[in-house]
Structure 1
Amino acid sequence: MPVTTVTKDPNALTMTIVAEFPVPVRRLWDAYADPRQLEKFWGPVGYPATFTRHDMFPGGQSHYYMTGPNGEQYPGYWEFLDVDPGRTIEVLDGFRKEDGSRNTELPTMRAVFTFEQTDSGSRLTSTSYFNSAEELEELLKMGMDEGTLSAMSQMDDVLADLQSFAAGQGVQTQLIGENQARISRVIRGSKEQVWHAHHEPELLSRWQLGPDGWTMPVCEVGTTVGDSYRYEWEQDGGGERFGFTGEVLEISPPHRAVTTEAMIGQEGTPVTNELTLTEVDGGTLLTLLSTYLNAELREMILGTGMADGMEASYARLEREVLQTQAG
């Protein structure tokens, strides 16, 4: 158990938990920055968390839910107030309703996570600040302290796994809920480089080609809210041709972009794609959360080999764009 002290101060309206780990600060920080890792320990034992959004930059948000033994869900959110990479994370921590909106009937609190190097590894200090003695008492009655300690008891196993989340693993696909899928990959490049490569037509048309043998004759990029985009691909020699179009719904360079996506010439509800870039050890963690109309459409699209095509594109991005820029 990594926790060394738990201090509740009813006068200061705080609860502070200190834990130490035999890993570098960078490794501990990445466990909080990477939603794939965070969801393995954020929920108490028996109540695993699923993060459907994790934008770790000031002004960004995280959306998650914990699932109980009988399938019941407990949604929550973070609003990032401050992020000092490798040192501190400050969030507003609260509950959400089933429809995703914030539940203002339940307490919120401010939480600060501080990361420090020690002689034997790293130290995490988590301090929760409550709005009133009544809210502090209410959250403790809800089992906040026991739940937090139960969740943190899982951290050692996550931190010891140096392989599953490292650069070089290729594209990973995770099904979320009934109609979402999350694509994840660490790209060997800075966040700014990866963002630029996604939003500069000359670069994008060099790497986002899927398997060998295709070109991208149409590459019209959207860079502000309300912009439309259009991408078309063609087999070498003038063979098969297809494309996608959509609209930019949100954009926060170089962190996050939300777009719709529809195949040109086909009717139906478009897919919504949420792209998030996060700096981690070895490069930039790219996550793409896609929300489909239903599970059937999700399975059909994933069944086309989409993940394999994306891996070919990301490998090309590293090889032909980012390494060239570095040189």
Structure 2
Amino acid sequence: MPVTDVTTDPEALTMTLRAAFAAPVERLWAVFTDPRQLERFWGPPGWPATFTAFDLRVAGHARYAMTGPRGETSAGSWEFLSIDAPHRFEVLDAFVGDDGEPLAEMPTMRMTFDFAADGDGSTLTNTTFFSSAEALEKVVAMGAVEGTTLAMNQLDRVVQGLRAFAQGVGTQVELISDTHVRVTRLIDGPRELVWRAHQEPDLMKRWMLGPDGWRMTVCEVDPTVGGRYRYAWEPTGGTEGEAFGFDGETLLSDPPRRAVTTEHMTGTDFPSTINDLSLYEEDGATLLTVLIGYPDKQTRDAVLATGMADGMEASYARLERELSPA
């Protein structure tokens, strides 16, 4: 993980994050000053950002909104105070309302981004300056340390590029909190087709089968927000196991970028999870990420113990074959 340290200093009224990367300063600068690349990490898992403006000049503004799994939003803006490419920039960071104006009840903070060479790589020092101890305490209580750490730890895949980061490693499962797991898989194919393969029943039945020896018997999908879905599988050809299924509701749909659904094992009283699917395409390949939110650590561990990752890899490998040219 890139983040090496996050500290708060009540006397200096600062919060400082440090991170290290196997990439030159120029690459880090490019990532932090390109809104399309910023969107891939500026926001913790489950709250991706969308930048609607990015005027990189002194007195220029950047504006963004982070969208939660149920469509809720938290918006912010930067005013660029100083720029020294590719080493440093400084902004005035504010929480804003629907009208784009700073929220009176929330603190406005000065924030610096410093990039420095370090051997073959580089380091980031991100320091936030607060106007009072109360403002620092308020932002920390909102989860700023944890949220910033999780957000910045997504940077490796952006700095390295998708193929260097994920090609050939299969399905990866990361424990990012007691109740959240992130699953990633690079699919060699365009995002539009990967999106369709998650929305259209005829396509889903061709790949979403888990290990060999199973077939999908039910695939009913309403991808609109508030719509329901239902899937079911059964073993074939003497394969051991019992038929099972899942059902749930679509909470958010942003084609072909993101879809959030609940997931419940049909016919049980097990609690539902929230599955947050996001797709990002680069160089003809699509990074598929599923952030799974569990009600508690015990449920998370029980699901992982079922061999979930192996079944997902079998399905994703099948999906990749389906997308490959004949």
What's the TM-score, normalizing by structure 1? 0.61
Structure 2: 5+ residue stretches without partners? 1-23, 55-60, 94-100, 125-154
Q: Equivalents in 1 of 2:296, 2:164: separation in Å?
A: 29
3-state SS in 2 of match to 1:199: coil
Partner of 1:149: 114
Partner of 2:262: 260
For the Cα contact (< 8 Å) 1:167–1:283, is it kept in 2? no
The code of the aligned residue for 1:232 comes to A
Which of residues 46, 50, 53 in structure 1 aligns to 2:46? Answer: 53
Q: Equivalents in 1 of 2:306, 2:116: separation in Å?
A: 37
Q: Equivalents in 2 of 1:93, 1:252: separation in Å?
A: 14
Partner of 2:165: 165
Partner of 1:59: none
The code of the aligned residue for 1:308 comes to D
The answer on 1:80 being equivalent to 2:51 is yes
Q: Quick one: structure 1 residues 210 and 162, their matched pair in 2 at CA, closer, same or farther if it must change by over 3 Å?
A: closer
The code of the aligned residue for 1:168 comes to G
Deviation at 1:92, TM superposition (A): 2.5
Q: Quick one: structure 1 residues 150 and 21, their matched pair in 2 at CA, closer, same or farther if it must change by over 3 Å?
A: closer
Q: Equivalents in 2 of 1:188, 1:154: separation in Å?
A: 31
Partner of 2:231: 231
3-state SS in 1 of match to 2:189: coil
Q: Equivalents in 2 of 1:247, 1:167: separation in Å?
A: 32
What is the percentage of aligned positions where both structures have the same residue?
A: 40
Partner of 2:26: 21
Deviation at 1:186, TM superposition (A): 1.3
Partner of 1:92: 64
Which of residues 279, 286, 307 in structure 1 aligns to 2:309? Answer: 307
Deviation at 1:218, TM superposition (A): 0.8
The code of the aligned residue for 2:266 comes to I
Q: Quick one: structure 1 residues 22 and 241, their matched pair in 2 at CA, closer, same or farther if it must change by over 3 Å?
A: closer
Structure 1: 5+ residue stretches without partners? 1-18, 39-49, 55-61, 63-77, 84-88, 113-121
For the Cα contact (< 8 Å) 1:92–1:111, is it kept in 2? no
Deviation at 1:20, TM superposition (A): 5.1
The code of the aligned residue for 1:268 comes to F
Query: Which structure 1 residue ranges, 4+ long, deviate > 2 Å from structure 2?
Result: 19-23, 28-35, 89-94, 100-103, 108-112, 122-132, 137-140, 150-155, 157-164, 237-240
The answer on 1:197 being equivalent to 2:190 is no
Q: Equivalents in 1 of 2:284, 2:168: separation in Å?
A: 9
Q: Quick one: structure 1 residues 124 and 111, their matched pair in 2 at CA, closer, same or farther if it must change by over 3 Å?
A: farther
The code of the aligned residue for 2:252 comes to E
Q: Equivalents in 1 of 2:266, 2:116: separation in Å?
A: 46
Partner of 1:247: 249
Partner of 1:70: none
